[in-house]
Amino acid sequence: MSIICNIKQLESQSLSFKGLITAKELDLENIDICVHLNTPVEHNFIAKKASNTIRLLGRLRFELDCECVHCLKPFKIVMDWADWECIVPLQGEMLSPIINDCVDLTPYVREDILLAFPQHPLCEPGCNKLPFEEGKDPRADLEKKALDSVWDQLDKLNL
């Protein structure tokens, strides 16, 4: 279900929007292989008309299910924007389409959420772990590779 704002009603009063919107409704499913929006976005904001724009003020809250890009450990990031603000243009290049005196606010909510997705999610700051098989020491492979270095191969040549 989209978040629709009636412009005619907005001219006489502020409008309040409160509810939940899913990743599917926001078209945010399978956007990133390491970041997923699996729970609905909670929104609670008011819309005010200001000259040629609609100003949205309020709160967005959502939870991102992430996978660390280094160690592949799953973790969550909770985003709680208590002072969320967005400007929806009604004129100019970035004009929002007006259909039957209504503007769809969903793309603006979607854009702000998408911009919040971490580009390289890490389970903890500075995580430099690499995934490895249970019970196997990852350093064992490094030691073996060190023995089979290029210089060792050159020493084996009979010149």
How confident is the model over 4-21, as pLDDT tens digits? 998 889 888 999 999 999
Q: Is residue 141 part of a domain?
A: no
**Ranges of residues in the chain whose predicted pLDDT is under 70:** 130-150
Query: What integer pLDDT is reported at residue 137 of this predicted model?
Result: 58
Residue 53 lies in a domain: yes
Cα–Cα nearest to 58, from 72, 45, 47, 43: 45
Q: Which of the 8 DSSP states describes residue 97?
A: P
The Cα angle at residue 73 between residues 67 and 78, in degrees rounded to 5: 55
* pLDDT at residue 156 in the model: 77
Is residue 140 one of the residues assigned to a domain? no
Q: Structural domain tally of the chain?
A: 1
Distance CA 147, CA 159 (A): 21
Residue 54 lies in a domain: yes
- 62 occurs within a structural domain: yes
Question: What pLDDT shows up at residue 84?
Answer: 95
On whether residue 72 sits in a domain, the answer given is yes
Q: Which domain covers residue 120, as residue numbers?
A: 4-131
pLDDT of residue 61: 97
Q: Which run of H or of E encompasses 12?
A: helix 7-12
Question: pTM to 2 decimals?
Answer: 0.74
Rounded Cα gap, residues 63 and 40, in angstroms: 8
Give the per-residue pLDDT at 133.
53
Question: Does residue 153 lie within any of the structural domains?
Answer: no
Sheet with 98-99: list strands edge to edge: 4-6, 102-104, 98-99
Query: Does some domain include residue 37?
Result: yes
Q: Which runs of E-coded beta strand occur in 4-145?
A: 4-6, 15-21, 35-36, 41-50, 53-67, 74-89, 98-99, 102-104
* Cβ proximity of 96 and 110 under 8 Å: no
